[in-house]
Chain A
C-alpha cells in the first residue's frame, strides 16, 4: 500500500482490512469473524448510531424501556442500609455494589474485580456476608444491608475489629480493608471466640494484594478478646 508515512487527509485511504480475498463469485471472504461484541465495541456502537446517550446515562440505564409485563419487578424499591431505609430507583440489572456506591454515595464499599473473586465489595445481608458486586440489588432488597460505614458506633467509636486492625497495622494500601472489616465483624457477631483457623476460614473470601493476611488475622484475634 502507498499509505506509509504521516496521515494525509487528501488521500482516500481504503477502509477495513488491507488484504482482501475474492471468492469464486467475486464475493469478499472475511478473514476473521468477530468473536462476540466486546464492551468497547458496544459502547462505540451505541455512540455511533447517533443515539443521544451520555456515558453516565448508559451506566445508570435511566432510559427505562416500556414495561412489557406487569409481573416484572418495580424499579422503585426501599432498601435498608446501615439501619436507614432509602427509597431508590434501581433497574433490574443493577448490582448491590453499584446501588450502594453510586446511588447512596456509600463509597466505603470497594469494587476490585467485579467478578466475585476478591472480596473488596463484601457487605452483610441479614448478617451474612455477600459479594455486593455479584448480587442483584433486587435479590436482597428485603434484607438489612450493612456496609463498612455501618460498623462503627453512631458516635464514631470504632468497632473493636477496626481498632485492632489499626493497632496491628493491617491495612497497607487499604483497598481490601472495608471487605476485611465486614467479614471479620460478621464472624465475631456469629462466633465471638473463634479459633485462628475459624478466623482464617471466615476471611478466606477476602483477597489482599498487599499480602497483609497475618496482620488482619492478628487483628481479628485481638478484637475477639475485646468484643
Chain B
C-alpha cells in the first residue's frame, strides 16, 4: 500500500483555532474531505509537515437561505449534501446536478464543495511529479509533439496547458456565486469568475487562495434562483472520470424568447470559460434548430486545440447547443 509520509494532524474546532495553527505552520496544508489531498501524499509528490483538518468546524458546514433568495453553502458541506439538499435542488438545480456528477457516491459522501473548487489540476504529468512549469520547472511535458494531452486546454495556455477539473466550478461561475475567504482578520469576498486564476496570473495555483487563507463558503445570489438551468458533463465513464468538457447554463425565457443567459464551460481552459459569444447570440432569440446551428458555430470560437484534444471542439459546440435546446421545451 502506498503509505503517506509522517505529518502532524490538527483538528481545530473553530476558524480562529485553524488560523492559529496555520499561522504557526506556514507549510501546513488544509484538508477537508481529503479526496484531492491524499492522492498527492500517497504518491509522495507533496509532503506537507502538518495537516489542518477543517471538517470538524461547525461554522463552515451547512446550507442556509439568504435574504436575497439565494443560498449560503458552507465550505465543508459535502457534495452529497449539496446534491440532495431540497433548497439547492429547487433554486439551483444545475449546482445540485453538478455536485451529484462528481466522481462516485462514496467520494461525494466525504468530498466538500470547498475542496472541489480549491482542488488542484489533474494534468497527469503534473500529478505524477514531473518537474513542469507548474511544479517550478521550466518545461511543459503535456505540450510536446508526443505528449498525451487529450484532457488538456484549448484556450489561454500560458506555458502550462492544464485545465480546471471541477464540476461545480462552472456551475458556480454561471450562477455568479461569491466565494467568501477568511484572510487574516478580514473576510474577503471574491466573485467566482475571479476566484479561479490561470497560469498567466500564477502558474503554481488554480485559485486566488493564498497560504493561510480559509474558504468559509459560497454565497449563491438569488439572481438566478428558479431560472431555467442546465448542466451536462461529458466524460469517458459516468463514474470517477473527470469532465472532458462540461457546460453549465442559467437562463430566463419569456414568450418563447430567451431574455437572459449565463453559460460557462469547464475542461477547456485553466479556469471555467464564460461562453460570452453564445450568451450574446441567444439573448433575444427563440430556441430552435436554427439557433442551435448558430450556437454551434460560435461556441468554440478561438479554440486552439493541442495534438490530441481536437475532439473537444465539437464536444463544446454540441454541449452548448444541447443547453440551448433545453430551453425549447
Closest to A115 in B: B39
List residues of B whose CB falls within 8 A of some A CB: 1-12, 17, 21, 24, 31, 34-35, 38-39, 41-42, 44-45, 50-51, 53, 55, 80, 103-107, 109-110, 128-131, 238-240
Q: Which of B4, B11, B21, B129 contacts A138 (CB 8 A)?
A: B11
A212 at the A/B interface (Cβ < 8 Å)? no
Contact status of A39 and B109, CB under 8 A, knowing A136-B9, A205-B239: no
A129 interfacial contact with B, CB 8 Å? yes
Minimum CB–CB distance for B278 against chain A, Å: 31
Could you pull out 20 A-B pairs where Cβ atoms are within 8 angstroms?
Answer: A33-B131, A61-B3, A69-B10, A71-B10, A72-B8, A115-B2, A116-B103, A116-B106, A116-B107, A129-B105, A129-B106, A129-B109, A130-B109, A136-B9, A136-B34, A139-B34, A183-B105, A205-B105, A205-B107, A205-B239
- Residues in A neighbouring B105, C-beta threshold 8 A: 129, 183, 201-202, 204-205
Cβ distance A117 to chain B, nearest Cβ, rounded Å: 6
Smallest CB-CB A-B distances: 7 pairs: A205-B104, A92-B9, A36-B129, A93-B4, A72-B8, A205-B106, A205-B105
Inter-subunit contact A139/B240 (CB<8 Å): no
The smallest C-beta distance from B206 to any residue of chain A, in angstroms, reads 20
Does the CB pair A35–B130 fall under 8 Å? yes
Which residue of chain A lies nearest to B8 when distances are taken between CB atoms in the complex? A72
Give every chain A residue within 8 A of B11 (Cβ-Cβ): 73, 138
In the complex, are the beta carbons of A93 and B41 less than 8 A apart? yes
> Range of interface residues on chain A?
35 or more
Judged by a CB distance under 8 angstroms, whether A119 is at the interface is yes
Residue A37 at the chain B interface, CB threshold 8 Å: yes
Chain A, 21-61, contact with B by CB distance < 8 Å: what is the 0/1 string? Answer: 00000000000010111110010000000000000001101
- Name the B residues within 8 Å of A72 (CB-CB): 8-10, 50
Residues of B within 8 A of A138 (CB): 9, 11, 53
Known A-B contacts A42-B44, A130-B109, A134-B38; the reply to A71 vs B21 at CB < 8 A is yes
Cα A33 to Cα B11 with chains together (Å): 38
A57-97: CB near B (< 8 Å → 1, else 0) gives: 01101000100110111000000000000000001110101
Instruction: Find the A residue at minimum CB distance from B111.
Output: A116
Apart from A91-B6, A92-B8, A204-B105, what are 5 other A-B pairs with CB-CB below 8 Å? A71-B10, A129-B105, A129-B106, A136-B34, A202-B105
**B110 touching A61, Cβ below 8 Å:** no
Contact residues in B for A73 (Cβ distance below 8 Å): 9-11
Chain A residues near B6 (CB-CB < 8 A): 61, 65, 91-93
Residues in A neighbouring B106, C-beta threshold 8 A:
116, 119, 122, 129-131, 183, 205
Q: Which of B12, B35, B105, B128 has the most CB of A within 10 A?
A: B105
B42 partner, pick from A42, A115, A139, beta carbons under 8 A = A115
- Chain A interface (Cβ < 8 Å from any Cβ of B): 33, 35-39, 42, 58-59, 61, 65, 68-69, 71-73, 91-93, 95, 97-98, 111, 114-117, 119, 122, 128-131, 133-136, 138-139, 183, 201-202, 204-205
Task: Kindly list chain B residues whose C-beta atoms are within 8 Å of the C-beta of A201.
Answer: 105
Q: Give the docked Cα–Cα distance between A135 and B31 (Å).
A: 11
Q: Identify the closest chain B residue to A33 (Cβ).
A: B131
Instruction: Find chain B residues with CB under 8 A from A71 CB.
Output: 10, 12, 17, 21
Complex: how many Å from CA A129 to CA B135?
A: 34
- B44, B53, B238: which contacts A136 (Cβ < 8 A)? B53
Question: Which residues from chain A contact B9 at a C-beta distance below 8 Å?
Answer: 72-73, 92-93, 136, 138
B24's nearest neighbour on chain A, judged by CB, is: A69
The residues of B that contact A61 with a CB separation of less than 8 Å are 3, 6
Residue of B6, B21, B41, B128 with most partner-chain A CB within 10 A? B6
A116 to B240 Cα, complex, angstroms? 9
> In the bound complex, how far is the Cα of B1 from the Cα of A61, in angstroms?
13
Residue of A nearest to B80 (CB): A128
Known: A91-B6, A115-B39. Is A36-B45 also a contact (CB below 8 A)?
A: yes
Question: Which residues of chain A have C-beta atoms less than 8 A from B50's C-beta?
Answer: 72
In whole angstroms, how far apart are the Cα atoms of A36 and B132 in the complex?
Answer: 12
Which residue in chain B gives the minimum CB-CB distance to A138?
Answer: B9
Does A39 lie within 8 Å of B34, measured CB to CB?
A: no
Nearest chain B CB to A126 CB, angstrom units: 10
Q: Which residues of A contact B109 (CB under 8 A)?
A: 128-130
Distance of A144 from chain B, by nearest CB (Å): 15
Whose C-beta in chain B lies nearest to the C-beta of A92? B9
- Residues from chain B with a CB closer than 8 A to the CB of A116 are 35, 38-39, 103-104, 106-107
Smallest distance from the beta carbon of B79 to chain A beta carbons, Å?
12
Q: B229 to nearest A CB, angstroms?
A: 21
Given contact pairs A33-B131, A42-B44, A92-B8, A98 touches B1 in the complex (Cβ within 8 A) = yes
The distance in angstroms between the C-alpha atoms of A115 and B128, with both chains bound, is 14
Closest to A111 in B: B1
Which of B7, B21, B238 touches A92 (beta carbons < 8 Å)?
B7
